[in-house]
Amino acid sequence: MMLSEQSVQTAAGKKLKSAGALLVAGLLSVSLVGCSKAIKYGDAAEVETTTTGFGSTDLQQIAAKMVDSVLTFPPVVEITAKRRPVMFVDTIKNKTTEHIDTESITDTISTKLLRSGKFRFVDMTKVAAVKQQLDYQSDSGMVNQNAAMKMGQQVGAEYMLYGNLSSIVKRNSSRKDVYYKFTLKLMHLQSGIVEWSDEKEIRKSKEKSLFGL
C-alpha cells in the first residue's frame, strides 16, 4: 500500500516537473521572441569594441598608419617622385594566439598604396591562373597570335612588403590587457636593403563590470 502511494506521488511529481519545464520553455520562447531585434546596417568606419580580440578598428588603424608612414618617408618620397615602383606583398606572419586573417590587412594596405598612385603591384596569389591563361593563349590554337599576350613579358617586382603581427595578453581576476604590435618592412629585392620599416602598437583592455554583468 505504501509502495503504491509512493509511486502515485512520484508520478504526480514527474507530471508537475514536466509541466514546470514546459512553462519555463514557453516563457523562454516568449521572452526570446520579445527580445529579437531587427537587422540593421551599421557604419563600417565606426569604432568596434565588442571584445578585446583583433577587430576591424585595429585593422583600419594599422592600415592607415602604415600607408601614411610609407608614403611620407623621405627616401620613399624620392623613389616614387618620378616613377611607380612595382612591389609584391609577402605574407604577414601571425605570431599572436588568435586566428587573424593577415591577408586582409595586407589587402587593405596594398589597395591604399595602389590607389595613392605611388606604387604598382604584382599579385603572387594569381601566378598559376595567369600561367594557365597565357598557356591557353599561346598553345591552344584558339587565340589569334597577333592579339595574344606573350609569355616572358611580365615586370619583376622591385620591392617586397612583409611583416609580423605579435601580441602580449595578460589577465588577472578583474582585468584583461591585450597589446598588439604590427611591424611592416619594405625591402629592395636586388640589394636586400630594408628601405622602410614602421610599427603600430595597439593596447586594448577590458575590466569586469561593476555588477559582474
Partner 1 sequence: MNIVKLSALLSGVVLLAGCATSGIEATGKTEGDPEYAKHLVIHNEPLAKAITITDMKSRFKGDLLEVNVVLSNLSSSDKSIQYRFAWYDGDNFEVEQGGRSWIPVVLHGKSSTTMRAVAPNPSVKTYKVNVREL
Work out whether strand 86-94 and strand 120-121 pair parallel, antiparallel, or are unpaired. parallel
To the nearest whole angstrom, how small is the minimum distance from the Cβ of residue 51 to partner 1?
Answer: 15
Separation CA 124–CA 106 (nearest Å): 13
Least distance to partner 1 from the beta carbon of 168, Å? Answer: 19
The separation between CA 152 and the C-alpha centre of its own chain, rounded to angstroms, equals: 34
Instruction: Compute the least distance from the CB of residue 81 to partner 1, in Å.
Output: 6
* CB nearer to partner 1: pick between 105 and 118: 118
In the complex, the smallest distance separating the C-beta of residue 201 from partner 1, rounded to whole angstroms, is 13
Q: Which residues have a Cβ under 8 Å from the Cβ of 177 and sit 6 or more positions away? A: 169, 170, 171, 203, 204, 205
Quick one: 64 or 148, whose CB is closer to partner 1?
64
Burial (Cβ within 10 Å: 0-12, 13-18, ≥19) of residue 67: buried
Using DSSP, state whether 171 is helix, strand or coil: strand
Strand partners, 188: 159
In terms of Cα–Cα distance, which of 126, 82, 105, 71 is closest to 183? 105
Place of cell 620591392: 159
CB of 118 to partner 1, least distance (A): 8
Residue 67 CB, nearest approach to partner 1 (Å): 7
Cβ proximity to partner 1: between 82 and 99 the closer is 82
Contact positions vs partner 1 (CB under 8 A): 44-47, 56-57, 60-61, 64, 67-68, 71-72, 77, 80-81, 112, 115-118, 210-211
Nearer to partner 1, 65 or 100 (CB): 65
- Name the nearest CA neighbour of 165 among 71, 72, 98: 98
